[in-house]
Amino acid sequence: MSELSVNHLLGIKYLKKEDIDLIFKTADHFKEVINRPIKKVPSLRDITIANLFFENSTRTRLSFELAEKRLSADVINFSAASSSVKKGETLIDTVNNILAMKVDMVVMRHPNPGAGIFLSKHVDASIINAGDGTHEHPTQALLDSYSIREKLGEVANKKILIVGDIMHSRVALSNIFALKLQGAEVKVCGPKTLIPKYIESLGVSVETNLRKALEWCDVANMLRVQNERMEMSYFPTTREYTQQFGLNKEILDSLNKEIIVMHPGPINRGVEITSDVADSKQAIILEQVQNGVAVRMAVIYLLASKINR
Amino acid sequence: MSQKVLLNSKEINIILRRLACQLVENHPNFKNTVIIGIQPRGVFLANRIIQLLEEEYSINNVEYGQLDITFYRDDFRRSDKLLEANKTKIDFIVEDKQVIFVDDVLYTGRSIRAALTAIQSFGRPNVIELLTLIDRRFSRHLPIQPDYNGRQVDAINDEQVKVHWKEVQGEDAVYLLPTSETKQQKTDSK
C-alpha cells in the first residue's frame, strides 16, 4: 500500500492496519530528519495548516506546530479563548472563515465528541483530529504504538495494560483501537466506576487489581486522572486512588520482569505515577514526546500528498 | 524483449575502474572527501566505487553516506503516486568537506537539484562533485553536469535507461528500453 486509505485522520477506528504500517514507515524517516543538525525538509512549502484548539493543550499543540514547521508548512494558530467563538459564532462558520483565507488542512481539538467527523462532512479541507472530547485522540495512540514498536520491535502479540480513567479517556479508546488493529492483547485496569460497562465488546479484558495486571503486561500505559471531565465523584479521594491504582517504584521493582512504563502527559506526579517511576529508565515518557513529532509529521505528510491531486 | 544493451558487464567493469581512478586523481587520500550515494539507485554504484577504492588503491575507511531526496523533490503533490522515502544514513557533518554525489543515471537533473538542497541539512560542504554512470545529456531540465561520467547516452525522452546490478538483478548491464515498454515498467521510472 503506497497511500493512506483515508483523506482525514478522524480516529483510529477509520484506519486499516496498512495505514498504520505506512504511517510508521514514514515516521521512521522523519525521526531521522528531526535528529539532523538542520531538522527541516521543504516538502510542504505550498501547504497552509490551521491549528484550531477549542480546548486547552500544550504538548499536542506544540507537537503539531513543530511537525508542521519541520515540514515547511505555513501555520496559523487559533485558540477558542481569544476568538469570535466567545461571540457566538458556529463551528462551521468559524472554520469556513479560516478556510476562506486559503487553508489546506485543519488540525482541530474540540471538547465535543465527533466534532472532527462533523466538520469533515461540511468543509473542504483535510481534517486531523487532535482530540475530540472523550472520543478519540488518534495521533496520541499512533505515537504510543510507535514507541512500543520502537522499544519492543513490534506491537503484535504484546501485552499492553492501560490504567486509569478509561471512561473519559480518548487516549484509552484510540489506543485500544490501534493496539487491537495491530494484534496486541489489551487489558484495562482502574476503579470500576471509571471502566465503561461494555468495554469487553472492544475485545479487551478488565482487571481491577493493579498488581495482578502489572504481572501480566509488557507495557503499562498510565493515564492521567482527568478531574476536569468528572462532573461527579467516581472515587472517594485522590489518595485512595493513588493507593489502589498509582504506580510506584516499590510495585515496579517487585515484579518478576522489567516492564515499560508510558504516560501520555501531563503527569500528575504522585497521583497515577510517582516521580521516581516517571524519571526511571523504564519510563519512555520523553521518547513518546519525541516520537510524537515524527509521527505527526508522517500523518501530515501522507494526508497532504492527497490534497488536490 | 526489444531492449538494447548499452553496456555489458565487461564494459561496466572498465568504466567503474576508470571512474575510481579519476576520483583518486582528484582526491589522492580521501582525507577530507566523503562519498554520498543518492537513494535509492545511486547506492549500488557508490558501494562498487568504494569497493574498488579499497581493492585497487588501498583507500580504506572512506566516509560514506546515503542520502534520500524524497522530501526535497519538487514534484510533491504533482505526481499520481505518493513519493515514498528511503533511508538517509549520514553519520557525519559535511561542513567544509569535499562531497562526491554518486547516482546511476543523470536525466533531468532534478534529483541532483533536490540532493543539493538536502545535503545542506548536514552542513556547508566545501565542494560538491557529481559522479554518474550514465549521462542522458540531451534530457536536462536544469543546468547540472557530471564531473565524472561513465557513458553519455543520447536517448530520446520517452525511452528508459535501466541499470542492472549483480547484487540486485544478478548481472551488471545497462539497457535502453523503447517507449512502449517504458509505459508498462513505469514503476522503475528513471
Q: Does A55 reside within a domain?
A: yes
Is B80 at the interface with chain A, CB within 8 A? Answer: yes
Question: Can you give the CATH number for the domain in which A157 is found?
Answer: 3.40.50.1370
Considering the domain architecture, whether residues A154 and A246 belong to the same structural domain is answered as yes
Q: For A211-225, write each residue's pLDDT tens digit.
A: 999 999 999 999 988
In a domain, A7, yes or no: no
Model confidence at A84, pLDDT cuts 50, 70, 90, reads: low
pLDDT tier at B82, thresholds 50, 70, 90: confident
A91 lies in the same domain as A200: no
Q: Would you say residue A3 lies in a domain? A: no
Closest CA to A2 of A309, A306, A282: A306
Query: What number is the average pLDDT over the span B158-173?
Result: 90
Q: Could you please report the per-residue DSSP string of B116-181? A: HHHGGGG---SEEEEEEEEEEGGG-SSS---SEEEEEE---TT-EEEEE-HHHHSS-EEEEE-HHH
A38–B120 C-beta distance less than 8 A? yes
A248-303 pLDDT tens trace: 999 999 999 999 999 998 899 999 999 999 999 999 999 999 999 999 999 999 99
Chain A residues within 8 A of B72 when measuring between CB atoms: 41-43
Q: Are residues A84 and A150 in the same domain?
A: no
Nearest-by-CA chain A residue for B91: A36
Regarding whether A245 and A171 lie in a shared domain, the answer is: yes
> Residues of A near B (CB-CB distance < 8 A)?
2-3, 26, 28-29, 32-33, 36-44, 46, 71, 301-302, 304-305, 307-309
pLDDT band with cut points at 50, 70 and 90 for residue B186: very low
Predicted confidence (pLDDT) per residue in B138-156, tens digit: 889 999 999 999 999 988 7
The pLDDT tens digits of the residues spanning A149-203 come to 999 999 999 999 999 999 989 999 999 999 999 999 999 999 999 999 999 999 9
B127 CB near a chain A CB, below 8 Å?
no
- Shortest distance between the Cα of B116 and any Cα of chain A, in A, equals 13
CA atoms within 13 A on the CB side of A143: 32
Give residue B190's pLDDT band: very low, low, confident or very high (50, 70, 90).
very low
| Cβ count near B54 (within 10 Å) | 14
| Range of lowest pLDDT (A58-62, A228-232, A264-268) | A228-232
Average pLDDT of chain A, as a whole number: 92
pLDDT at residue B81 in the model: 76
Q: Do A305 and B88 touch (CB under 8 A)?
A: no
The pTM for the full model equals 0.89
**What confidence score (pLDDT) does residue B189 get?**
44
Residue with cell 495512540: A141
Residues A94 and A165 in one domain: no
Q: Which of A18, A30, A32 to mutate to test the interface with B (most CBs of B within 10 A)?
A: A32
Is the residue at B100 inside a domain? yes
Are A115 and A152 in a shared domain?
no
Residue B183 lies in a domain: no
Annotate A144-207 with DSSP letters as a single string. HHHHHHHHHS--TT-EEEEES--TT-HHHHHHHHHHHHTT-EEEEES-GGGS-TTGGGGT-EEE
* pLDDT over 60 at B159, yes or no: yes
Enclosing domain of residue B134:
8-156
pLDDT digits (tens, 9 = 90+) for A6-43: 999 999 999 999 999 999 999 999 999 999 888 999 99
Is residue B88 a contact partner of residue A32, using CB atoms and an 8 Å limit? Answer: yes
- ipTM of this complex: 0.78
C-alpha span between A280 and A274 (Å, rounded) = 10
C-beta atoms of A32 and B87 within 8 A: yes
* B184: pLDDT strictly greater than 70: no
How many structural domains compose chain A?
2
Q: Are residues A275 and A143 in the same domain?
A: yes
Give the span between the Cα atoms of B111 and B134, in whole angstroms.
14
Q: Is the pLDDT of residue B52 over 90?
A: yes
**How many domains does the structure of chain B reveal?**
1
Tell me, yes or no, whether A93 and A31 share the same domain.
Answer: yes
Question: Which pLDDT score, from 0 to 100, does residue B180 have?
Answer: 58
Q: How many beta carbons lie within 10 A of that of residue B42, not counting itself? A: 27
| Residue A90: partners with Cβ closer than 8 Å, 6 or more residues away | none
pLDDT of residue A82: 64
Q: What is the b/e burial string over A244-257, where b = at least 16 CB atoms within 10 angstroms of the residue's CB?
A: ebbbeeeebeeeee
Residue B128 lies in a domain: yes
* Mean pLDDT, rounded, for B37-55: 94
Tell me whether residue B170 is in a domain: no
Q: Which domain holds residue A46?
A: 12-136+291-304
pLDDT of residue A155: 97
A2 lies in a domain? Answer: no
CATH number of the structural domain spanning residue B138? 3.40.50.2020
How far is residue B71 from each of residues A150, A259, B186, measured CA to CA in Å?
A: 23, 37, 21
Concatenated DSSP letters of B73-109? -TTTTTSSS-------B--S--TT-EEEEEEEEESSS
Is B188 a member of any domain?
no
Residue B71: predicted pLDDT: 92
The pLDDT tens digits of the residues spanning A100-112 come to 888 999 999 999 9
Does A156 share its domain with A284?
A: yes
Which of B36, B133, B20 lies closest to B92, judged by CA? B36
Neighbouring C-beta atoms of residue B142, cutoff 10 Å: 12
Query: Do both A143 and A284 map to the same domain?
Result: yes
According to DSSP, the residues that pair with B103 across neighbouring strands are B132
Question: Has residue B167 been placed in a domain?
Answer: no
Among the listed residues B190, B95, B98, B105, the one whose alpha carbon sits nearest the alpha carbon of residue B146: B105
| pLDDT for A107 | 96
